[in-house]
């Protein structure tokens, strides 16, 4: 069952991308392709604001989607187990 987790992986990636899009829209407003190209990140030591933005992006775009998928996966696994027990399948 190597590919049994594929829907969960795809769901997680989709939620991460949606979270990233929403976070960028909320933090920066409408961003055009030209703005992205002109402002590619450069390692310059940064300041505290870039650290806060990085932490926010990590939380919104990575941690929350993974947590949401794990909760849903656990819930569906638990309800499937309860259904099997109710049907007498053990």
| Residue 73 belongs to domain spanning | 15-25+48-90
| In the predicted structure, residue 15 carries a pLDDT above the cut 70 | yes
Question: Per the domain annotation, does 34 fall within a domain?
Answer: no
Q: For 21-55, what is each residue's pLDDT tens digit?
A: 888 889 889 888 788 777 766 555 555 566 777 78
CA distance 83 to 40: 51
- Residue 15 backbone phi and psi in degrees, to 5: -65, -35
Question: Per the domain annotation, does 33 fall within a domain?
Answer: no
8 A C-beta contact, residue 29 and residue 66: no
CA distance 17 to 66: 12
Average pLDDT of the chain is 77
pTM of the predicted model as reported, rounded to 2 decimal places: 0.53
Question: Per the domain annotation, does 7 fall within a domain?
Answer: no
Number of domains in the chain: 1
């Amino acid at each position: 069952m190597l590919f049994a987790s594929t829907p969960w992986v795809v769901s997680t990636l989709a939620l991460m991308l949606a979270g990233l899009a929403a976070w960028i829209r909320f933090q920066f407003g409408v961003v055009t392709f030209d703005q992205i190209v002109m402002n590619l990140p450069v390692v310059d030591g940064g300041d505290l604001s870039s650290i806060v933005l990085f932490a926010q992006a990590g939380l919104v775009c990575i941690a929350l989607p993974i947590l949401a998928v794990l909760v849903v996966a656990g819930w569906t696994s638990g309800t499937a187990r309860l259904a099997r027990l109710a049907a007498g399948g053990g």
